[in-house]
Structure 1
Amino acid sequence: MPRLVDVAALDEAAQTIVTEAWDAETVRDRPPVVCAWLDSDLDGESLVEHIARYLVGPGVDGKPVFWRFYDPRVLALTLATFDPAQRQALLGPIQSWQFIWAGHRWSISGRGVATDLLEGHVPAWPRNDQWPRINRSDVATQVVDRLSDVPVQEVASLPATLDRLFGDAAQFGLTQADDLADYAWHCVKYGSAFEQHPTLVQARTEMVDGRITWPEIVSLFTPDELRQLEQSSRLSKAQRTES
């Protein structure tokens, strides 16, 4: 269960420890310990109630599920999936929600206005069509862990990019988490030229029909082709950065 710490109520030594722990979250070698840094005018007890109301609710099958939305590995993909009204409801009385994902610090701003308690978890609870996308958070983590340091210019769009790539891969017939992660990793690393490569385009129908597996498709690319794709991707990214 998440634990909320009122940093302002701590003595100076304890504040230093908490701040150092927060700064250490940018090191991508372990699961998160400090999941978020929240700014709110609400008292601690009321803030706990706000967060707790979205921890448990119905899953796709209607049975109760525990939703780790506070975990940055889940939150990153959730924010890419939610519509603006859902995002604001999730923030509620929180004016700023900071979290660290993919080695970078993110900050989401809210209006700082609490949602009606009588509405329960509904305003910020995933819809049935959103659950499959949010549940790919573990797959997204696999991709991020395999990527080397992601430049700040690219990381802002990475959750939405991964969400799109996972959806594409599912349409192509990829269902295993490792295949989804490997497909997305190749697309992020090698860019649109990989997604549009004739070898991949031609194999998609076979993937849908189950006549070829993802590892078999990857094996069709020669090392030279992958090197050329990587060089092309780097050049394209550099040109976008300059412009």
Structure 2
Amino acid sequence: MIVSKSSTWHLADAISDCQPPSLSRDGYALVDPGAFSDAGELASLCGRMCVPINWGKDFTGLPMLIDLRQCDARQKEWLESALADDLEAQQRFPLFRPRVCGYLETLVSADVVASHLGQQMLVLPIDKSGNRSGSAALWRFFDPRVFANLCWLLDADRFAALTGPISTWLFPWFGNWFELATSPVRITGVNAAERIAGFMRIDIEVWERAQRVALVNQVLARLALPPDISWSQRASVANHIETAVAVAKDRLHWDEREDQARYAEHVVRYGLAFLTHPKLAPYWTLREAQRTPGSWADLAALLTTEEYDVLAQQAMNTVPTLPPANFSNTAALGTRDL
């Protein structure tokens, strides 16, 4: 996809807290058909499926774009009810799969938006030499549990290529709604050099980080941060979780995802008090040298209940003390191997 920027913008400054969108106004609702238990009402809305290039007739996993101007009052009320139910469910189950994934505003037609989103969904990891490095995948970046993390993981150019002609993108994350004010780009055609057999190229380093986002969300849910914190605060915590997950896997050689998640949770929850604990410091050295085996349970057994209590007392509030997230990083999630 060849895009032309209308202006420069910074992701860190483009996102703000907002109220859930009113679907009674114009604009587009982006929904996940697979999250609806009854697709009958959804089918009557005449939405447009966001279908990748050369896709078959199986639309499983693909989003639907609904032009709210073409919906009558009853249909809009039904969508509003689904959105409200999503919000309530997310209060109790933070990782709940939402039905209404976003509210979009743009000056282009629904057909153009649906086509653009669909064309971004097939990706193929490549290495620095431009060679294929990994399996092709369907990238469900529209899922707000994914999209919210992309806002701090992707650099501005890659993110602009995803959002394309969309000027406003509202999305939920952990029970709150946030507004992304983008700088829309002009679509001038499909660049074959950017694709391999219809798949968008994506850097392998970006793709490897992409696989951590599910764990990032899981750890965020376990930390149970205050519901009223801002997007930038939650994104900062997510950034530190992602870094800790990478350390657990690459430096401390924990292959089990649960071990990686537990390590990241403790790093963010207890900080230096955990990392520099006298009983644990020698353990980190042994793990890095691959001179001691074991899972997270083996590490946990090194500390007594009383010592964990002391860690909790020493731990500071992570939200105001963490430095800002690095909004120039890259990555993604929401994949299905093809």
Instruction: Decide: shared fold, TM above 0.5.
Output: yes
Measure the CA separation in 1 of the matches of 2:320 and 2:120.
42
* Contact 1:77–1:163 (Cα < 8 Å) also in 2: no
The answer to whether structure 1 residue 22 and structure 2 residue 83 are counterparts is yes
**Larger deviation, residues 216-225 vs 189-198:** 189-198
Q: Deviations over 1:68-112 (max 9, x none)?
A: 111122223333321121112211111122222233323322112
Question: What does residue 188 of structure 1 align with?
Answer: 268
Tell me how far 1:67 sits from its aligned partner: 0.8
Seen in structure 2, the aligned counterparts of structure 1 residues 162 and 108 have a Cα distance that, compared at 3 Å, is farther
Question: What does residue 216 of structure 1 align with?
Answer: 298
Tell me how far 1:6 sits from its aligned partner: 1.6
Listed as ranges, the matches of 1:227-238 within 5 Å are 227-233=309-315, 235-237=316-318
Measure the CA separation in 1 of the matches of 2:262 and 2:179.
28
Measure the CA separation in 2 of the matches of 1:139 and 1:18.
30
Q: Deviations over 1:148-193 (max 9, x none)?
A: 2444154131331222111221222122211111111222332342
One-letter amino acid of the structure 2 residue matched with residue 182 of structure 1: R
* Contact 2:213–2:242 (Cα < 8 Å) also in 1: no
Measure the CA separation in 1 of the matches of 2:226 and 2:261.
16
Question: What does residue 162 of structure 2 align with?
Answer: 90
One-letter amino acid of the structure 2 residue matched with residue 55 of structure 1: M
If asked which structure has higher relative contact order (CA below 8 Å, sep 6+), I would say 2
Question: What does residue 122 of structure 2 align with?
Answer: 56
Question: What does residue 16 of structure 2 align with?
Answer: none
Would you tell me which structure has more strand in proportion to its own residues? Answer: 2
One-letter amino acid of the structure 2 residue matched with residue 158 of structure 1: V
Measure the CA separation in 2 of the matches of 1:217 and 1:194.
12
Contiguous gaps of at least 5 residues in structure 1: none
Identity %: 25
Listed as ranges, the matches of 1:1-243 within 5 Å are 1-26=62-87, 27-28=89-90, 29=93, 30-59=96-125, 61-119=133-191, 122=194, 126-151=202-227, 152-153=229-230, 154-170=233-249, 171-208=251-288, 209-213=290-294, 214-233=296-315, 235-237=316-318, 240=321
One-letter amino acid of the structure 2 residue matched with residue 138 of structure 1: A
One-letter amino acid of the structure 1 residue matched with residue 235 of structure 2: A
- Paired residue total: 240
Measure the CA separation in 1 of the matches of 2:209 and 2:69.
36
Normalised by the length of structure 1, the TM-score is 0.85
**Larger deviation, residues 219-228 vs 123-132:** 123-132
**Larger deviation, residues 194-203 vs 45-54:** 194-203
One-letter amino acid of the structure 2 residue matched with residue 90 of structure 1: L
One-letter amino acid of the structure 1 residue matched with residue 314 of structure 2: S
Would you tell me which structure has more helix in proportion to its own residues? Answer: 1
Normalised by the length of structure 2, the TM-score is 0.63
How much is the aligned-residue C-alpha RMSD, in angstroms?
A: 2.7
